[in-house]
């Protein structure tokens, strides 16, 4: 059996999305910056996609900017806001994606900002009181906290964070790559300055994402070289990807509730079955359905002798999973997220992440193989 449980790294593209992308490739090849008929037709595709995403998020199309993915969107929001608004102080958590953490650390290294790191509890939830204390000392700051962690799945209450940021006139950026398409976002209710999405996390194409910039914020381009994206990002647009990401988000929203229920049941089932099969298993982060991402489950296994080859053995057994973030899976450095929540470093950890196409039969197979591995340790 082949089982894919690494959906937090990337998801398979939905067949309907592929259809839209192929049709665009075959029929719409003009450059969207060209003023002739072929160019205008392609420009229309981009603007329809922008409007689709904006409508789903209850935003204005003028607030949606297409990028190459979540990493570029995060960098654009952080670097440009700090430069253009004269921000000298930033606040983040120790378990952010490296697209955020490394960017802020580099800005501190070169003397652009002073960076404060929020306290987090053992489940990965940020210390709200600490956030308020830091903002009391430095009101006009940039706060960057992800809505859901990509390795352990803890959820952050962005509404609560946004209310605190508003009180202190702080800018709020959130990496919502893992929640986009899985939870609804109503930007008429959520007062946020910058928010990011990436198509391949919700059954869309790789290499395309978007940045939401609240209309009250005016920043300079991140990439120069052309008037694309209303003078905000130079370079010919990834038209097929843009058509694909809009269709993928549209599908995600139309089936969001049923997929949430189904996938949460799979996750809860795996937690129960693992607890029975491997009694001394540990779950990293939060597993409370109300406070954790339903697509992610991170576990630490007691089979310490197998630590170095655990993922390799799972792969041989036909199981695709991750030891942490896929963006750093080729590194020998341990997970900064698990270090940040002080997880047991002696135990091997595995992240399983689910999609609408996983089944209970697959979960049963994975649990049986994990039990087999631990019994042979």
Collect all residues with Cβ–Cβ distance below 8 Å to 375 and sequence separation of at least 6.
none
Distance, in Å, from the CA atom of 197 to the CA atom of 73, rounded to the nearest integer, reads 8
* 374 catalytically annotated: no
Please answer whether residues 212 and 63 qualify as being in contact, where contact means their C-beta atoms are separated by less than 8 angstroms. Answer: yes
Count CB-CB contacts under 10 A for residue 42: 23
Please answer whether residues 139 and 168 qualify as being in contact, where contact means their C-beta atoms are separated by less than 8 angstroms. Answer: yes
Helix (H/G/I), strand (E/B), else coil: 127: coil
Q: Sheet harboring 142-144: ordered strands across?
A: 64-67, 209-213, 194-198, 171-175, 142-144, 89-92, 114-117
**CA angle in degrees (0–180, nearest 5) for 375-313-316:** 125
Distance, in Å, from the CA atom of 256 to the CA atom of 272, rounded to the nearest integer, reads 24
**CA angle in degrees (0–180, nearest 5) for 151-341-317:** 40
**Active-site position among 165, 286, 303, 327:** 327
Task: Tell me the angle at which helices 360-375 and 256-277 cross, rounded to the nearest 10 degrees.
Answer: 30
Which letter, b or e, does each residue of 225-264 get, where b requires 16 or more Cβ atoms within 10 Å of its Cβ?
A: eeebbeebbeeebbbbbbbbbbbbbbbbbeebeebbebbb
What is the bridge-based pairing of β-strands 142-144 and 171-175? parallel
Kindly calculate the radius of gyration of the chain based on its CA atoms and give it in whole angstroms.
Answer: 21
DSSP 8-class letter at 212: E
* Active site members: 327
């Amino acid at each position: 059996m082949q089982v894919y449980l690494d959906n937090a790294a990337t998801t398979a593209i939905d067949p309907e999305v592929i259809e839209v992308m192929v049709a665009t490739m075959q029929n719409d090849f003009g450059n969207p910056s060209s003023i002739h008929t072929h160019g205008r037709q392609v420009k229309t595709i981009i603007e329809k996609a922008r409007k689709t995403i904006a409508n789903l998020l209850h935003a204005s199309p003028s607030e949606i900017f297409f990028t190459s993915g979540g990493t570029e969107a995060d960098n654009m929001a952080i670097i440009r806001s700090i430069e253009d608004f004269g921000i000298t102080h930033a606040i983040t958590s120790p378990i952010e994606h490296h697209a955020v953490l490394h960017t802020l650390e580099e800005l501190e290294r070169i003397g652009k900002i002073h960076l404060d790191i929020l306290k987090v509890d053992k489940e990965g939830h940020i210390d709200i009181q600490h956030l308020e204390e830091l903002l009391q000392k430095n009101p006009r700051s940039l706060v960057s906290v992800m809505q859901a962690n990509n390795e352990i799945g803890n959820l952050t209450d962005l509404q609560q964070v946004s209310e605190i940021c508003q009180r202190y006139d702080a800018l709020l950026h959130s990496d919502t790559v893992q929640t986009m398409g899985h939870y609804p976002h109503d930007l008429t209710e959520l007062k946020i300055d910058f928010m990011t999405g990436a198509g391949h996390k919700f059954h869309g194409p790789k290499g395309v994402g978007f940045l939401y910039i609240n209309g009250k914020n005016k920043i300079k381009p991140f990439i120069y070289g052309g008037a694309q994206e209303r003078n905000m990002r130079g370079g010919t647009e990834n038209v097929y990807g843009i058509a694909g990401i809009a269709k993928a988000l549209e599908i995600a929203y139309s089936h969001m509730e049923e997929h949430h229920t189904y996938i949460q049941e799979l996750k809860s089932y795996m937690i129960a079955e693992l607890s029975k099969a491997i009694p001394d298993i540990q779950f990293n982060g939060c597993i409370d359905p109300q406070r954790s991402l339903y697509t992610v489950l991170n576990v630490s296994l007691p089979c310490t002798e197998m630590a170095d080859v655990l993922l390799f053995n799972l792969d041989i057994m036909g199981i695709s999973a991750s030891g942490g973030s896929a963006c750093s899976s080729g590194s020998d450095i341990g997970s900064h997220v698990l270090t940040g929540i002080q997880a047991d470093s002696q135990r091997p950890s595995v992240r399983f992440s689910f999609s609408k196409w996983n089944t209970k039969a697959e979960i049963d197979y994975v649990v049986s193989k994990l039990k087999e591995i631990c019994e042979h340790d």
